[in-house]
Amino acid sequence: MPTEPETDYDPELGRKFIFVTGGVMSGLGKGITAASTGRLLKNAGFDVTAVKIDPYLNVDAGTMNPFQHGEVYVLKDGGEVDLDLGNYERFLDIDMTFDHNVTTGKTYQHVIEKERAGDYLGRTVQIIPHITDDIKRRIREAAEGNDVCIIEVGGTVGDIEGMPFLEALRQFAHEEDEEDILFTHVTLVPYSKNGEQKTKPTQHSVKELRSIGLQPDVLVGRCSDKLDIDTKEKIALFCDVPTEAVFSNPDVDDIYHVPLMVEEEGLDQYVMERLNIADEALPETERENRWRELVTQQTEGEVDVALVGKYDLEDAYMSVHEALKHAGLEKNVEVNVDWVNSEKMPDHHAERMREADAIVVPGGFGTRGTQGKIDAIRYARENDVPYLGLCLGFQLAVIEYARNVLGLEGAHSAELDADTPHPVIDILPEQYEIEDMGGTMRLGAHETDIEPGTLAADLYGGDSCTERHRHRYEVNPEYFDELEAAGLTFSGRSANRMEILELDREEHPYFIGTQFHPEFRSRPTRASPPFVGLLEAVVDDEPSESADAETREVSY
């Protein structure tokens, strides 16, 4: 086999690898299955990280339509990635980097750049070994410093664009010790009309996998119910795995219950024994149990939140939806998210908004549905409905205030109306000369200074916070003084950039907007402060007390 390029990778670190593939159809839940496995391994005391392989030619997910791939998730280093990495961060409670996302575009671009630079010394550059070597290198380097690395291969077995990655995994398994590699294959187990669980799709999927040299060690059957023992035995017989290596992953009410379900099936114990790390795991009595306690607690009420956006598609706002759930876990309430299509305001959707306990306007781009969002913000401001605006929701709150409080007729964002007489939102100075779309916005984690004594200071429990950004436009500095004189407080700043806005708590129970995206750092075990504050304004009829916020800041 060809040798790997020299790297700083320490072969003594990150030596256990779990590869997760899928068959039959996409969207089965490979990512949640993988993340749940990782959560259980972390509970057992292991350091776990993950890699998501996306076989598309895009270098990253930054320019992709949410209808096709859901939201664009932003990492701390500014990487724009597939939403599955958001699930990994939430389940594993880790901060990943752009190196943890491997795409065909990224891999081919790197190899071609090396070829252009003459690094291959005249050799013919081919998929094997050059592309496959680069894939293996990326996986090994992403795993550095961790006990276990879980690698999810996007798409389904048999997709032509995924073939180089599966070949790389075949080589990878050949180069590593058998006890350091585990292949998990997730497949669909549908019901026939007479109620029988059908194994044929799984059989064909495994046959396809084996035809390229990969034999699964673990099979996970996605079904609406648990797999019958007869179904497990049939799958084991025809797919050449032990019956105890076939696991159920049935439908559950909430994805955060999946770790509990696969733990009940014994998946984590089987994986640890197969990787020869069971003896190193914490005793069951000493394992982390906070996850189970959180997701199984009995809620003490409900909160209805209107999420006003142009996509009535949950995946387009997945992190916002999850951050609301995390805040609900902290406040011990059930959060019902009502998806309000901003294009249809003020038709019957306006009534749905009026019935909500709180309103959220998430980030976004483009003019479609903008006026409906502004109408929702005005309603929240004038009717004392707790409001949280994120990125575009922050900018539109400035526009709404400029129009309806300052009386600046036609005030708008230069992004949305180039001819506006009052561009209260304007392009970032460093964006003037940028022409390329991909990876060129203000991205990733940046620190915000917070004004003492403000709502933001109470929420974050201090004078600063670090949150992730994804934007090209900002509040126009020419309008700062006028807006603040009229009562709009900019309580968070980054140099001359406005990062947080709020209304005085004497005038509104909770009205806050953030230029950044706090939802990207929210976790089930440490909810995002602005989201917790939103629910507190509903549940407690008052924003967070400073002492409580200080406690949250320590854990956040």
240 is in an annotated binding site: no
517 noted as active-site residue = yes
27 is in an annotated binding site: yes
369 is in an annotated binding site: no
396 is in an annotated binding site: no
230 is in an annotated binding site: no
- Which stretches does DSSP call E strand in 432-550? 442-450, 464-471, 473-475, 489-494, 497-502, 511-514
465 noted as active-site residue = no
Residue for token digits 């620190």? 447
242 is in an annotated binding site: no
CA 86-62-388 angle, to 5 degrees, is 60
225 is in an annotated binding site: no
30 is in an annotated binding site: yes
φ, ψ (nearest 5 deg) of residue 194: -95, 10
Burial 324-356 (b: 16+ CB within 10 A, else e): bbbbbbbbebebebbbbbbbebeeebbebbeeb
258-265 vs 267-274: helix crossing angle, rounded to 10: 60
266 is in an annotated binding site: no
Three-state SS for 283-327 is: CHHHCCCHHHHHHHCCCCCEEEEEEEECCCCHHHHHHHHHHHHHH
The tokens describing 233, both together, are 């035995």
165 is in an annotated binding site: no
- Which stretches within 93-180 are classed as H helix? 104-116, 132-143, 163-175
The tokens describing 428, both together, are 């970032």
Which entry of 330, 391, 499, 536 is annotated as an active-site residue? Answer: 391
195 is in an annotated binding site: no
- State the DSSP code for 523: B
Which entry of 322, 474, 519, 536 is annotated as an active-site residue? Answer: 519
161 is in an annotated binding site: yes
Which residues are within 8 A (CB) of 489 and not within 5 positions of it... i.e. 6 or more apart? Answer: 451, 454, 501, 502, 503, 504
26 is in an annotated binding site: yes
331 is in an annotated binding site: no
92 is in an annotated binding site: no
203 is in an annotated binding site: yes
391 noted as active-site residue = yes
159 is in an annotated binding site: yes
Of 319, 283, 238, residue with least CA distance to 73: 319
Of 158, 172, 162, residue with least CA distance to 102: 162
Which entry of 349, 412, 517, 536 is annotated as an active-site residue? Answer: 517
Asked if 308 and 510 count as a contact pair (C-beta separation under 8 A), the reply is: no
199 is in an annotated binding site: yes
524 is in an annotated binding site: no
Residue for token digits 């059989």? 203
- Which stretches does DSSP call E strand in 128-213? 148-153, 181-188
Please enumerate, by residue number, every residue annotated as part of a binding site for L-glutamine. 364, 392-395, 415, 472
Positions marked catalytic: 391, 517, 519
Please enumerate, by residue number, every residue annotated as part of a binding site. 26-32, 84, 152, 159-161, 198-203, 234, 252, 364, 392-395, 415, 472
Please enumerate, by residue number, every residue annotated as part of a binding site for ATP. 27-32, 84, 252
Please enumerate, by residue number, every residue annotated as part of a binding site for Mg(2+). 84, 152
Please enumerate, by residue number, every residue annotated as part of a binding site for UTP. 26, 198-203, 234
